[in-house]
Structure 1
Amino acid sequence: MTAFLMWLAGMFLSAFFSGSETGFYRVTRMRLALDALSGNWIARGLLWLTNNPALFVATTLIGNNLANYLTTLAIVLGVQQFFGGPQPTADVLAPIVLSPIVFVYGELLPKNLFYLAPNRLLRWGGPIFLFFTAIFAPVSGLLWVLARILQSMVGESPVLTRLRLARAELQRVLDEGHEIGILQPTQRQVAQAIFDVSAIPALRQGVSATKFSSVLPTSHRSDVLRTARRHRASLLLVVAESGHDVQGYVRVIDLHLRANDWQQCMRPILQLPHSTTVLEALVHMQTNQESLAEIVDKQGRSLSLVTVDRLETLLFEPSVRTRHK
């Protein structure tokens, strides 16, 4: 009876850890994040494990080894109890005969179940996995330290790995949404464009201030409008009398909306660090409702100017985006 109970415990642990491993690779991180924000402590723990994959893998590895040990020991004890003593031949044949049962019910079936319903099953088994994570912490901690050492040797950043996993998962969610009709082709195209431009430096899209049409702050409103029409410009730089220092810019549409005192339409130029990406620049410019931004270096010196129209072109014109990859 003891051997049978030990065998059941080993089978349960094998099924649980094998299925949980598949479930963690299939679970939706966004769903975990939303549940964690709502106050679900199980989701918080699981989300923490997904952000520390080395610890999760170590816990799973220890759990599977423990399950295999219990299963094998239970089979050997059961054979000895059945025959009344050690039987070398039976001790060898029994694990071989029972291995298909262990494989189907301890590996294959739980992996398929967790593959089909990872979110539901992980919510059910989350407390158990977190319990074993705490129990195995002394041993899994050593494996975690070893993994960190290997990461430092190969130069693989856990943050970059986590970002790649998150991007792949979000891409899968978008593909599934497109397949079932939630996302329209245009929406999916914009989402894909965001992925493509997320790492492109905004500095690469910048142009020199000399490429922009400019006016003096003392210019008459009619002269400013004439300059805009002649150059077909939607915005104009406002430069000092010397012609070198840029004091700001003015949007032509604001000139048409304000009949008098066009200098009141002059806007300051938003400054962005040289490390800013296209996506970050778009967010800052849209948030501040600015059409023009200046890319500056660490000393605050101007490197180039970028317009929101030029950055948005990367999102909506695939041919332009392809040339800048």
Structure 2
Amino acid sequence: MSDDFPLGLLFGLLFLLICLSAFFSSSETGMMSINRYRLSHRANSGESRAQRVARLLARPDRLIGVILIGNNFVNNLAASIATIIAIHFLGDVTGPAVATAALTITILIFAEVTPKTYAAVKPERIAFPASRVLEPLLMLLYPLVWLVNVISNGLLRLIGVRNIDGGGDNLTRDELRTVVHEAGTLIPQRHQAMLLSILDLENVTVNDIMVPRHEVVGIDLDDGLDEILAQMRTSQHTRLPVYKGDINNIIGMLHLRNSARILSRAEVTKAAIVQEAREPYFIPESTPLHTQLLNFQKQKRRIGIVVDEYGDVEGLLTLEDILEEIVGEFTTDVAGMEEEIHRQEDGSVIIEGTASIRDINKSLGWQLPTDGPKTLNGLILEHLEGFPEGPVSLQLGGVRMEIQEVRDNLITAARCWQAPRRR
């Protein structure tokens, strides 16, 4: 047969087939390696080549079918031509064996490893131009591709694979967190922190960030009128709960912008204060933050009273508290936190027992457990399973602690420092 076709034509045809094999191999890798989310964004932006690739990837069975049909056809034809050339030079005995070995190495290097590696590194450079060829080729070979897909999909159903569409790229919350972490310089560090904080809202409940009951500042109607008016004039807060005798007896929430209307009256009474107070808004303590953020929006509220399952007041939560969980502190009095954490010259810190575990972790970069007690006092007592009778040392979350003072069944202070890591 080599006498019927010039050797130069056979060599040229063999070279062309190897190039086509490299094209199909790189196309397969490029199509399957392309970033689906970037592709979806570009397709939604109206980029025609991205839309073309997205159409092909919508049915991966058809895409793989047309690529492998083309690849196997050119490889088999290349093997036949290589055998003819080898027989011409080496004879019928050694020619086929040498052709098989030589062509295997050639295809492996030039039509498999090299193009596939390049396509894996630069998938868009391969997938976009390749789609111009693959889409019309799929239309041309559709009957053969359909037949192959019917058989292969039937075999897949036998092993339990039902859905073969290319739309299974939904991300879980943990996977999305990994994507944000790996974005690198594509997303500024500050924005990464905000995105991760939004994802974490579901894992944080209202009682994790609320202002605890003993720190809530409000207007007690049992106090004298002069004392109440002085509090209204000097308060640093814009909204104050109004209660009678005990904070569990909350009557309403007073916005201090209305205090001018009260103070301008000829005769100021407690009844006038109650009249200006808005009906209180109560929040269950176990409400996740992402849910409460939506509830604030629906109720047109900025502050709520946190209650436990028995209806007792546990604390107070504001919209700003939730926003600070996302964007970081911008209204919190940092000095108030520093009053609970006292840094020492030896590198240790003395922390008051009422300090919040979450605030300690944020301020010092520690990883004390936050899934149990909310304060340092509660965390230590839970670990000791009782009140210490004297100075006690313990280690929690990689932090060593020495109890400094116990008063009125409360650990009021503990010296803490990070334990050295074991090598």
TM-score between both structures, scaled by the size of structure 2: 0.49
- Kindly provide the amino acid, as one letter, of the partner of residue 172 in structure 1: E
The code of the aligned residue for 2:84 comes to: Q
Determine the structure 1 residue equivalent to 2:260: 259
1:14 and 1:191, CA in 2 relative to 1: closer, same or farther beyond 3 A?
same
Deviations 1:172-221 (A, max 9, x none): 33x1337xxxx3x54454445445x2541435636699665555899979
Deviation at 1:74? 1.8
Distance 2:154 2:285 in 1: 41
| Of 205, 208, 211, the match for 1:205 | 208
Distance 1:274 1:100, change over 3 A: farther
Q: Does 1:99 align with 2:104?
A: yes
Q: Is residue 39 of structure 2 the alignment partner of residue 32 of structure 1?
A: yes
User: What are the residue-to-residue correspondences of 1:143-182 with 2, within 5 Å?
Assistant: 149=161, 161=171, 165-173=175-183, 175-177=184-186
What is the match of residue 21 of structure 2? Answer: 10
1:99: Cα distance to partner? 3.2
**Secondary structure at the residue paired with 2:261?**
coil
Residue 123 of structure 1 corresponds to which residue in structure 2? 128
Cα drift, residue 77 of structure 1: 1.5
- How far the C-alpha of 1:79 sits from its partner, in A, is 3.4
Note closer, same or farther for the CA distance 1:169–1:102 as it changes in structure 2 (3 Å cut).
Answer: farther
Confirm or deny: 8 A CA contact 1:269 1:294 kept in the other structure: yes
**CA distance change for structure 1 residues 36 and 110 in 2, over 3 Å: closer, same or farther?**
same
The total of aligned residue pairs comes to 294
Query: Partners of 2:51 and 2:286 in 1: how far apart?
Result: 36
Classify 1:37/1:160 alpha carbon distance in 2 versus 1 (closer, same or farther; 3 Å): closer
Decide whether aligned partners of structure 1 residues 71 and 242 sit closer, same or farther in structure 2, where only a CA change above 3 A counts: same
Q: 1:108 to 1:7 in 2, by over 3 A?
A: closer
CA distance in 1, matches of 2:128, 2:137: 15
261-270 vs 197-206, which deviates more? 261-270
- RMSD of aligned alpha carbons: 5.4
Provide Cα deviations, 1:237-296, integer angstroms capped at 9, x if missing partner.
45699976867644xxx40465115655637648799774x3564476479874335789
Does the alignment pair 1:308 with 2:319?
Answer: yes
- Taking a change above 3 Å as real, the CA distance of residues 257 and 16 of structure 1, as seen in their structure-2 partners, is same
Q: Is the CA contact 1:205–1:311 (under 8 Å) kept in the aligned structure 2?
A: no
How far does residue 167 in structure 1 lie from its aligned partner after superposition? 4.1
Q: TM-score, normalised by structure 1?
A: 0.59
Deviation at 1:17, TM superposition (A): 0.9
- Note closer, same or farther for the CA distance 1:295–1:87 as it changes in structure 2 (3 Å cut): farther
Residue of structure 1 equivalent to 2:73: 70
Query: 2:18–2:107: 8 Å Cα contact kept in structure 1?
Result: no
Higher helix share: 1
* Contact 2:253 2:279 survives alignment (8 Å): yes
Mapped contact 1:239–1:245 kept (Cα < 8 A) = yes
- Matched residue of 1:236: which SS? strand
CA distance in 1, matches of 2:277, 2:95: 92
Higher relative contact order (CA 8 A, sep 6+): 1
1:107 deviates by 3.3
**Distance apart, 1:78 and its partner CA:** 0.9
Q: Distance in 2 between matches of 1:114 and 1:7?
A: 17
Task: Tell me the amino acid that sits aligned with residue 307 of structure 1.
Answer: T
Amino acid at match of 2:72: Y
Aligned to 1:299: none
Distance 2:73 2:42 in 1: 35
State how far apart, in whole Å, the 2-side matches of 1:88 and 1:204 are: 84
Residue type of the alignment partner of 1:291:
R
Identity of aligned residues (%): 13
| 1:110 alignment partner in structure 2 | 115
Q: Could you say which structure has the larger radius of gyration?
A: 2
- TM-superposition CA deviations, 1:100-152 (whole Å, max 9, x none): 4323433344345445544454333345556678855745755776787499x
**Distance of aligned partners of 1:95 and 1:260 in 2 relative to their CA distance in 1, 3 Å threshold:** farther
Partners of 2:27 and 2:92 in 1: CA distance: 31
- Greater percentage in strand: 2
Q: CA deviation at 1:62?
A: 4.3
Secondary structure at the aligned position of 2:181 is classed as helix
Q: Do the aligned partners of 1:271 and 1:295 also contact (CA within 8 Å) in 2?
A: yes
Change (3 A) 1:204 1:226: closer
Alpha-carbon distance in structure 2 between the residues aligned to 1:202 and 1:107: 53
Q: Quick one: structure 1 residues 115 and 218, their matched pair in 2 at CA, closer, same or farther if it must change by over 3 Å?
A: farther
Cα deviation 1:55-83 (Å, max 9, x = unaligned) = 54x55654664455334412331134333
Q: Structure 1 residues 113 and 149 mapped into 2: Cα distance closer, same or farther (>3 Å)?
A: closer
